[in-house]
Structure 1
């Protein structure tokens, strides 16, 4: 079967690879000069790795992309970074229950509420209970105004700008559910890995 795929982002490339492996004749159409979509990047001649236009990483729980990396013999680096918050001229860790409890700019009530809600989201097996709801109002209701103002509102502002109030709760659940302490990054860069997938499709 002849199949056309619009867009050479990771979704399009992974679909193209699986379809080509299944024996189909696949053509991928991409308007940009390079593959990768939002994970596309660039590379100066003196660089060994590509650099993405936007910040990306994988979680340990991203099983599909890890399986594809193994299939294509792509080396993956596992890194455990520190997550900090800059507040009142201080840089403070906020990447574990212990560091959250030590965080000096939230009340103990807000700390306990935030910890309980994050645990609830992590343990929830499906996004179904959260559908039809917006993230920030829900966070404010259950984690408290203090945690929303100091932690979550600035994060949403930085990531989504003036669209922060339109972010859905299932998206937020997915970020918390999938997040792992260890972050993963393909050797050579994510954009380089996209090029490797495209090359694998061409060679089938």
Structure 2
């Protein structure tokens, strides 16, 4: 989904002629804690959140409001989220709400995450609400995000560009500290050098160091010193709804997933054959047992816990399931992170890097990827002496 504040990607969607398919819809957000799904999308929902005392709820609401009004993220950069939240919102609010969410998102790194990351989540969410803290509105291209990417590829081709999908790259070719092309792995097993004027790499940093092993030490160190977590996603196609919420954050260590997104609680299920689509997400380390599990193993592990959210759930509701995993999905945003971000212009001429570690202080997402893509494209044109719009 998109937030109202995601202007870069919404502008792109309109530029591609798909603006009439972009719908803005209200969503229901919940927090699972103590065996109950609590409404958790508005200030009034917070005031009704009984796991915290009234005084604690007021304290959380007060500081959340101040975070929403604070524009300068730099004041949060030198402190961890844990320390700031405990100090300002209280130890109990941190234990009940924030620690489970940080653990779910960042695993063993939860106590190293900068408060800037929390600020970004809270500050940007208010932009997705109407006046007077109304319900949140989220955007979705009704032809799917896949259609957006397909049309973008078609436009590139129409303007004389070539789009090669699933093409392996062995390394970046460098001569006299100048990137000259790529060594591409062909389907027949042969490697072929291809010359290019400029190269923009969008891989995770640890993969970029393999493609360009001879980077200067100071730039190389910035790349290897960022830790990543991976993403595991199980998609269930059900014959009936699981809950009445679009998004449920899991504040419970015992559940093996950290988020439930019931897509068809925001998008009409008639578009999906009348079925109900549920996403179960987690962010494990790439070396973890969870990341290595097959689709069948994950479904077997995840589905028994769905009865905690809906006691009536039965595995027979599952019509089909799908499994996806992505390595290097979430960089760990530690304190003073801005000092460790590598430049888009690498020390090698005509070689540029644009990946999720360089999205800051916002969290990674499609909107900021589009924004960064435009920024780096302008750099390439400027360095080549070409006119920039």
Instruction: Tell me the TM-score normalized by structure 2.
Output: 0.36
Partner residue, 1:163: 109
- Conserved in 2, the CA contact under 8 Å of 1:76 and 1:186? yes
Largest Rg, 1 or 2? 2
SS in 1 for 2:155: helix
Deviation of the 1:144 alpha carbon: 0.9
Partner residue, 2:224: none
- Kindly report which structure 2 residues correspond to 1:126-165, keeping only aligned pairs within 5 A, or say none: 126-165=72-111
Judged with a 3 Å threshold, the aligned counterparts in structure 2 of structure 1 residues 85 and 132 are, in CA distance, closer, same or farther, namely same
Are 2:42 and 1:87 aligned? Answer: no
Partner residue, 1:58: 2
The CA deviation string for residues 145-166 of structure 1, in whole angstroms up to 9 with x for no partner, is 1111111111122222222222
Could you tell me which runs of 5 or more consecutive residues in structure 2 were left unpaired when the two chains were aligned: 129-135, 160-389
Are 2:30 and 1:77 aligned? Answer: no
Q: Whole-Å Cα distance in 1 between the matches of residues 105 and 27 of structure 2?
A: 19
Deviation of the 1:198 alpha carbon: 2.7
Deviation of the 1:132 alpha carbon: 2.0
SS in 2 for 1:77: strand
Judged with a 3 Å threshold, the aligned counterparts in structure 2 of structure 1 residues 139 and 192 are, in CA distance, closer, same or farther, namely farther
Q: Which has the higher strand share?
A: 2
Deviation of the 1:188 alpha carbon: 2.7
Q: Whole-Å Cα distance in 2 between the matches of residues 160 and 77 of structure 1?
A: 31
Deviation of the 1:192 alpha carbon: 3.4
Q: Whole-Å Cα distance in 2 between the matches of residues 191 and 137 of structure 1?
A: 40
Q: Which is bigger in relative contact order (C-alpha 8 A, separation at least 6)?
A: 1
Instruction: Tell me the TM-score normalized by structure 1.
Output: 0.67
User: How many pairs does the alignment contain?
Assistant: 148
Q: Which has the higher helix share?
A: 1
